[in-house]
Structure 1
Amino acid sequence: MIVLGYNGFTRGAELFGRLFGATGVGRNLLVGHDAAAALTIDGKLVAAVEEERLSRVKKTSDFPANAIEWCLEFAGVGLDQVDLFAFPWRFSPAVAEEMIARICDSDLPVAEKFDALRRTGEVYTDMLSREAVYSDFVQRTGHRLDPNKLALVPHHLAHLMCGAYLAGRKDAAFLVSDGRAETLSSVMGELRDGVVHLFDESTVDMANSLGVAYGRITRYLGFVPNNDEYKVMGLAAYGPPPQHNPLLEQVVHLHEDGSYTLAIPPDPESYYPLFDALFGGDSEKREEFDFRVRVAGWAQHMVEAVTAHQMRTLTAASGQDTLLFEGGLALNCVANTKMLERSSFTGMEVSFGASDPGVAIGAAVYTSGLRNRPAEAVTTPYLGPSYDERHIREALAQYADRVAWQEQPDTASVADWTAELLAEKNVVGWFQGRSEFGPRALGNRSILANPAFPDIKDVINLRVKHREPFRPFAPVVLASEAPRVFEMGKKSTSPYMTFVFPVREEYRERIPGACHVDGTARIQTVDEQQNPALAGLLRAFTARTEVPCLLNTSFNVAGEPIVCSPQDALECFLATEIDYLVIDRFVVTKRNR
């Protein structure tokens, strides 16, 4: 069976911009963001790519026409050969009735209720309904799809199925928490023998979304909600743990069944004054670093306290040993580690597709009947485009007036040459094999550097990434070496940068560039099976320098998607102060270097 999963709406950005005043990147961040496509064939996930990597529009919510075309072309499959098309949103008539009822039962004045009904009706009719989803697919692909081949999968179920498939788990407890699904923002339960058991009493509706609350504080601090929450998480580490938290005292209400309510009004005109009163802020204070750190600490503490509350209920209701955590909140790697270490779970899995890129995978997995990953399937995030030597040579030739290159005879020579470059204070663009799926650069489209230099973080933030100087970088380390360098707790590996670990005291002075201000690091572990090229480079680098890891950050600049093609890599290389670019076997330098 061939199943294509996809996420994205053609009219999403336009409708949310016109009807709800969303501007800039915010137009893409409400429903359908992180548009992507994924293809499963006979029980195996064979291809997946985010639309932004191909369209070069960051966080796009557009219909993923390019991603669909690439997945099918990669597999040699035509649209007419696909058995089912899976879409990770199910706005059924029953869901529409609930949306209407919520507006009618609200405290809005009558005129505002009519306005909300009008806007919601237009979004439902033109974008969310089954008829709109079907019409969007036909118009954008030109393929007259049999309506019976279109499967609409509930959003949180798609999240769960992505995590379950990639973890290969038959039985596990689960928590899915994000900004919003159709009407809910968080669900929990357990997966037994491929059957989902939802703990209905613990569900949280989208009006009380923890992800949205964190996003509103993100906006309050001057960042982009549903996009820059990781900046708030990073800022929180610059201050001590809060002794008291006004959010927990006045905004968050925890309930015995594991659910919660959050008393935050929906519009900035209302929640800015609320936050100013809670935090002692104003328009000037919001620009002060110390104030931002304090507020970020409260926001992070709120997430940790609420998820701990959910964990207590989940562990009491489920006898499973392992937790699957998916959804946008699962990218909060600081909270993830605390959730695991403070719970009775012996293991916890967060997939590389935990946020909304993964729902394309999850929808395909669910629709194809794959509740668990086949035993012989290898879990890999490297599911996107790769480029052969012909494509690379053609790209280099296009920039021959600006770059020069040396070709290495084999992968061992590439590793040795790159390790020699990284032994010095050089920043290297590293481009190998198939692009990784999800929001993290996992070693195939990465910028690498030597963490032994104390100021290397500042060099990359200012000269290369063009982003805030407080932002940390993640170390990549061989899985066999990780426990020697980091305090891993219950984890033995962390291949997707979804957990944070303390750096062992004896290594903090040896890899200062990899240590966050609080002495922790969001690590990526690799081995020869998962990524032989990166593992070979780490072995060569460590043998040369005795430094056990490398800094790994995404190959892009602020506001741009991670590079996908050789042309993307060359453009980024030439527009920044990256010192060297390694594409496959080619070591590239700038002619004006």
Structure 2
Amino acid sequence: MNILGLQKNHNSSVALFCDFKLVYYNQEERLSKIKNDSFFPIHTLNEIKKLNIKIDRVVVTGYNTHDAHLVYGYMYKMGLIDSPYENAVHYYKSHHLNHAVKAMYSTDMDEAVILVADGRGSNYILDNGKQGHEVFSVYFASIEHGFDCLYKRLQTTREGHKAKVRANEIYGFDFVMDAITLKGFENFDVDHRPVSGAFYSRMTNHLGFKTNDEGKLMGLQAYGKPNKKIEEILLKDDLFVYKDKYNKDINFTVNVEKYPELYYHKKLGYKQIHYDIAYESQKQFEYQMIKVLNRYANNAKNIIITGGCALNVVFNYRLKKFLPKNINLYIDPLCGDEGNSIGAAITFGKYCGTRNNFDNIYLGPEPVYDIEKGNDKIETVVEHLINQKIVGLYQGKAEAGPRALGNRSLLLDPRIKNGKDIMNKVKNREWFRPFGASILEEEAHKWFDMAGLKESPYMLYAVEAKEGVKDKIPAVIHVDNTCRIQTVNEKQNPVLYKLLKLFNKKTGMPILMNTSFNLAGKPLVESPKDAIETFNESDIDYIYFADIERIYQ
């Protein structure tokens, strides 16, 4: 059976499973060149068309997918499906359940407590006519017995505060769900106060950043310090007000009229108070996450974190240090909405009787080269890095999700004192933003406090550097003495592993700065052509096309 999962809204993507094996995955942004593309996935569907594979079922998902017939009709006219009625199904509720299923089937766990947290999930109609959308969900998942929702927090307006969810609003599927059991529940918490990703996103906006730029707030908070007054304000019931001239029920805004201490305007720039606001926002976010885990995951042996909030690497590391050593913590590496096309296909595939284990992150299509092969050795790449050059590493399939993990990466010597400033200038990023690093897996514990982690292959933890490390590799150690690291072994990425081994042999440093191969506001490069265009638009010094052993300059 050929099943196509399609994430229609935020971070559109497609995932095609043929006989329960993933044969194609891509994100719409990689082809449209619109970062976080949330529009109609025309480019990825056109790529599916080129595969000349008839789709038995397309499973369309999103926050709510009542308008999915537009997708069905387009696919029918393209010849991808025989019927928009018999070959297409909705999976519109719950968005958080989709995250949970995808994450669970990415592991080898038999059961786990799963915390899903993001800025917004599926909408629910309340008994007073208002709406609420998911921001927290907790599931107990068992491969044998199914998924049981233990808790769900809905974000609503003041008018919807403490209203009840209509009984027929709990789940929405167009297909039978016998194989993935969903136990009934009534434990909805309907509240007007933003929490989780909704809170973090609004504080991100308040400090001058766009939605989807929450990572910038996470970088800025490291410059802050505890501020009791700000802490108390962030807990206030009227911290946010609704300001929209057309609809006063939406568009949460920080209430600076009542709390002028929080005032910020980009023309005035950042002062210490704004760093403190970011710091206290991070602390409040962590408190909210821990509070839910303490309540519902107290006796769990396995804990999974997914949804967009799982990209908060500062929280992930602190949680890892906080948890007892006998608890297994899994952070979903493809936790954003771009992973939900996979979740939708897995959900339907499970209904068909197959467990679709999924544990890979290099999921993009194989690149096609229209430049000549070379005979450039990786030793030459190392020499360029030692000479303080920025090298783009391009090879194989692109990484899914936002992290560059050695296939679409920009590399730099971490010993350069102003290396962070150099790379931020080249990428046109804000001055305060830190960079991640790739390090040999066998060397990581010598440089960083791994908090019991044996590996960190997906850059999901901002780990603490050991004493003296910042002096050796200042370009990648943030102001709070942390670094978001990717541990690398030979099996995971042979080319990057060899490069790190050679760099270590030459310099005694088993680590390189590693950031995504893109410029600010642009998605990760997809094709060799994209890489060359980015090179031509920037001050990147070289690209190493490892597949064809070609150094481009």
TM-score by length of 1: 0.78
Contact 2:28 2:44 in 1 (8 A): yes
Equivalent position of 2:336 in the other structure:
355
Q: CA deviation at 1:205?
A: 5.0
How far, CA to CA, are the matches of 1:86 and 1:549 in structure 2?
Answer: 42
* Conservation of the 8 A alpha-carbon contact between 1:170 and 1:372: no
Instruction: Provide the secondary structure at the position in 1 that maps to 2:525.
Output: coil
Do the aligned partners of 1:445 and 1:562 also contact (CA within 8 Å) in 2? yes
1:36 shift after superposition:
0.7
Question: Matches of 1:576 and 1:141 in 2, distance apart?
Answer: 41
Name the amino acid aligned to 2:315. Answer: A
Pair 1:197 & 2:117 matched: no
Distance 1:378 1:134, change over 3 A: closer
Residue 449, structure 1, aligned to residue 430, structure 2: no
Q: Distance in 2 between matches of 1:513 and 1:425?
A: 12
Cα offset, 1:143, TM superposition: 4.5
Amino acid at match of 1:45: L
Give the drift of 1:501: 0.6
Quick one: which of 223, 228, 236 aligns to 2:221?
A: 236
Residue number among 452, 463, 471 corresponding to 1:509 in the alignment: 471
Question: Aligned to 1:518, which of 480, 503, 506?
Answer: 480
Which residue of 1 is the match for residue 232 of structure 2? 246
Name the CA distance, whole Å, in 2 between partners of 1:90 and 1:466: 32
Contact 1:185/1:205 (<8 A) preserved: no
Structure 2 match to 1:417: 380
- Measure, in 1, the Cα distance between the counterparts of 2:491 and 2:352: 24
The residue that corresponds to 2:359 in the other structure is 379
Kindly indicate whether the alpha-carbon contact (under 8 Å) linking 1:474 and 1:553 is maintained by their aligned counterparts in 2: yes
Q: How much does 1:572 deviate? A: 0.6
Instruction: Tell me which amino acid in the other structure corresponds to 1:234.
Output: G
Residue 440 of structure 1 pairs with residue 403 of structure 2: yes
The residue that corresponds to 1:84 in the other structure is 57
- Picking from 286, 290, 299, the partner of 2:272 is 290
Checking the alignment, whether the CA contact within 8 Å between 1:581 and 1:589 is kept in structure 2 is: yes
2:401 is aligned with what amino acid?
A: G
Higher share in helix: 1
Q: Distance in 2 between matches of 1:407 and 1:276?
A: 63
CA–CA distance in structure 2, aligned partners of residues 232 and 580 of structure 1: 31
The 8 Å contact of residues 365 and 371 in structure 1, kept in 2 or not, is answered as no
2:115 equivalent in structure 1: 175
CA distance in 2 between partners of 1:372 and 1:354 (Å):
24
* In the alignment, structure 1 residue 211 sits paired with structure 2 residue 197: yes
Structure 2: how far apart are the matches of 1:439 and 1:430?
16
Segment of structure 1 superposing worse, 138-147 or 563-572: 138-147
Give the deviation of 1:283 after TM superposition. Answer: 4.8
1:162-561 paired onto structure 2 within 5 Å: 162-183=102-123, 184-194=134-144, 195-200=146-151, 203-205=188-190, 207=192, 208-225=194-211, 227-243=212-228, 245-251=231-237, 264-267=240-243, 272=253, 274-275=255-256, 277-278=258-259, 280-284=261-265, 287-316=269-298, 319-344=299-324, 346-369=327-350, 379-388=359-368, 390-393=369-372, 407-408=374-375, 413-414=377-378, 416-462=379-425, 464-561=426-523
2-side partners of 1:460 and 1:535: how far apart? 22
Aligned counterpart in structure 1 of residue 44 of structure 2, from 57, 67, 70: 67
> Could you list the runs of 5+ residues in structure 2 that have no partner in the other structure?
124-133, 152-185, 246-250
Q: Which amino acid aligns with 2:304?
A: L
Amino acid at match of 1:199: L
Alignment match of 1:39 (pick from 6, 11, 16) = 16
Question: 1:2 corresponds to which residue?
Answer: 2
Deviation at 1:429, TM superposition (A): 0.9
Counterpart residue identity of residue 68, structure 1: L
Query: Taking structure 1 as reference, are residues 372 and 206 closer, same or farther at Cα in structure 2, changes over 3 Å only?
Result: farther
Cα 1:466/1:276, change in 2 over 3 Å: farther
CA contact (8 A) 1:428 1:581 kept: yes
Q: In 1, distance between residues paired with 2:188 and 2:386?
A: 51
Q: CA deviation at 1:353?
A: 1.3
Task: Give the whole-Å Cα distance in 1 for the aligned partners of 2:284 and 2:119.
Answer: 15
C-alpha distance after superposition, 1:490-529 (max 9, x if no partner): 3221111111110111322111111000000111112111
Q: Secondary structure at the match of 1:407?
A: coil
CA distance in structure 2 between the partners assigned to 1:363 and 1:569 by the alignment? 31
Contact 1:304 1:335 in 2 (8 A): yes
Distance 1:51 1:206 in 2: 34
Query: Alignment partner of 1:576: what SS?
Result: coil
Q: Following the alignment from structure 2 to structure 1, what is the Cα–Cα distance between the partners of residues 274 and 353?
A: 43
- 1:206 Cα offset (Å): 8.2
CA contact (8 A) 1:6 1:37 kept: yes
Q: Give the Å deviation of 1:336.
A: 1.5
- Cα deviations across residues 143-191 of structure 1 (Å, max 9, x unaligned)? 4534233232231121112211222322111000111111222100211
Distance in 2 of aligned mates of 1:371 and 1:477: 41
Conservation of the 8 A alpha-carbon contact between 1:52 and 1:58? yes
Cα drift, residue 141 of structure 1: 6.6
Higher strand proportion (structure 1 or 2): 2
Taking the aligned partners of 2:360 and 2:305, their CA distance within structure 1 comes to 18
* Cα 1:55/1:206, change in 2 over 3 Å: farther
Deviation of 1:574 (Å):
1.1
SS at match of 1:392: coil
1:296–1:283 Cα change, 3 Å: closer
Residues 6 and 87, structure 1, Cα contact 8 Å, conserved in 2: yes
Residue 271 to residue 37, structure 1, CA distance change in 2 (3 Å): closer
The two structures have a TM-score, normalised by structure 2, of 0.83
**Structure 1 unaligned spans of 5+:** 9-31, 92-126, 252-261, 394-405
Percent identity (aligned) = 31
1:100 corresponds in structure 2 to: none
